[in-house]
Amino acid sequence: MIPRIYDDFDNYLKRGKVLVIFGPRQVGKTTLLKNYLSRTELKYRLDSGEDARITEVLSSKNPALISEYAGGYDLIVIDEAQKVPDIGNGLKILIDRNPELFIVATGSSSFELAGQVGEPLTGRKRTLTLFPVSQKELSKIYNRYELREKLEEFIIYGSYPEVLTAGSGSQKAEIVKEITSSYLLKDIIAFDKIKNSRVIFDLLRMLAFQVGSEVSLSEIAKNIGVDGKTVNRYIDILEKSFILFRLQGFSRNLRKEMTKKNKYFFYDTGIRNALISNFNPFNMRNDTGQLWENFLFTERLKKQSYEPLYANNYFWRTWDQQEIDFVEERDGNLFGYEFKYGDKKVKVPRLWKETYPEAKFEVVNKDNYLDFVL
């Protein structure tokens, strides 16, 4: 078993509040739940939103029926809660009628579950996001030497639990491809009347080749044969379903700073490699720099979420090509990070130093990356 950051729900459960656990499919939400339930002394009921009988009860808006459903239990757990229509109101009724109850709801599709639970549960929920396994979690079973030794493997195949525990590279590749094709896009294709999965895959492949670069959505729209509004809508869904993350350009109104285009990164580098069908080792690739940037960015996101470390994230670039890969704005201070897989020396961009003299700057490479992500 890989120790997960939220192994002990007792630290997060509170009577009269719903603990909502988001995350993509296959990251281990159900395993996490079952491990906790196997240890708890609370009398619990575990149900799935895919069970038609449970869906009927929780979407009924019938306070007496919903209250009766939870009678005699200390803890109610609803896995795949996004499958229940109007789940937010159902959970609100459950809390209002049973204020001493502990409640957990998990969901793989943030765009559905967030929309359903947001307003009804204002002030009545706590939200946790579970990502593919982080380096921080893996440091509980590997020392720093071992993490460095396995670094290339983590970047090439990603860090979904089933991938990490597979044996050979070919097994890992098959699992990543299966997750990508069968699980990851399952909710997306079923959502919002998206009929053509080919367009989604074409869009993702184009973004996969442009990781770390500023992206022209109008150019992508033209290449895949759809209009710009459709591309924007699909990207919004891909972001909300934990596949893509959008990084905006940073500016404090300096004319030379570029902010109109965004960069896009994948929450898991294995998924990115599956989309372009490339699991080659680093010595056979020409995109090592892109993968390194994506890996460090997503590991930093996990660190920010799990610690928590409150920050706004950007990249910085000027019209004369001065740039910084990653900028964190936290506690009123700026921290610039340049990501370099090799040991090439990098100078602080002149305009960054002149415009933001108080800002920090650091190069993150193979030697010091563990300090950045752990």
Q: Answer yes or no: do 33 and 113 share one domain.
A: yes
Residue 360: inside a domain: no
Residue 352: inside a domain: no
Can you give the three-state secondary structure of 96-152, one letter per residue? HHCCCCEEEEEECCHHHHHHHHCCCCCCCEEEEECCCCCHHHHCCCCCHHHHHHCHH
CA distance 92 to 40: 24
pLDDT (0 to 100) of residue 122: 86
pLDDT in tens, 173-211: 999 999 998 877 776 776 656 666 788 889 999 999 999
pLDDT in tens, 85-120: 889 999 999 999 999 999 999 987 666 666 777 788
CA distance 5 to 325: 27
Q: Answer yes or no: do 52 and 169 share one domain.
A: no
pLDDT (0 to 100) of residue 190: 65
Q: Answer yes or no: do 280 and 173 share one domain.
A: yes
Alpha helix segments (H runs only) across the chain: 29-37, 52-58, 63-69, 87-97, 110-117, 135-138, 144-149, 151-157, 161-164, 169-178, 186-190, 197-209, 217-224, 228-240, 269-275, 288-306, 350-355, 369-373
| Angle between helix 197-209 and helix 217-224 axes, rounded to 10 deg | 130
pLDDT (0 to 100) of residue 120: 86
Neighbours of 142 (CB within 10 A): 13
pLDDT (0 to 100) of residue 198: 83
pLDDT (0 to 100) of residue 301: 97
pTM for the full predicted model: 0.93
- The mean of the pLDDT values for the chain is 92
pLDDT > 70? residue 278 = yes
pLDDT in tens, 16-53: 899 999 898 899 999 999 999 999 999 999 999 999 99
CA distance 359 to 223: 39
Which of the listed residues 284, 306, 328 is the one where a domain comes to its end? 306
pLDDT (0 to 100) of residue 111: 60
CA distance 91 to 103: 8
Closest Cα to residue 237, out of 117, 111, 80, 132? 111
pLDDT (0 to 100) of residue 149: 98
Closest Cα to residue 236, out of 217, 212, 213, 208? 217
pLDDT (0 to 100) of residue 174: 97
Query: DSSP letter at 4?
Result: P
Q: Answer yes or no: do 252 and 301 share one domain.
A: yes
Which of the listed residues 306, 326, 358 is the one where a domain comes to its end? 306
pLDDT (0 to 100) of residue 191: 63
pLDDT (0 to 100) of residue 240: 84
Secondary element (H or E) of residue 79? strand 75-79
Looking at residue 186, which CATH number applies to its domain?
A: 1.10.10
Q: Answer yes or no: do 178 and 77 share one domain.
A: no
Query: DSSP letter at 330?
Result: E
Residue 345: inside a domain: no
CB within 8 Å of 270: residues ≥ 6 apart = 156, 157, 158, 159, 160, 163, 172, 176
Looking at residue 122, which CATH number applies to its domain?
A: 3.40.50.300
Number of domains present in the structure of the chain: 2
Burial of 72 (0-12, 13-18, 19+ CB in 10 A): exposed
Q: 40 is in which domain, residue-wise?
A: 9-129
CB within 8 Å of 197: residues ≥ 6 apart = 185, 189
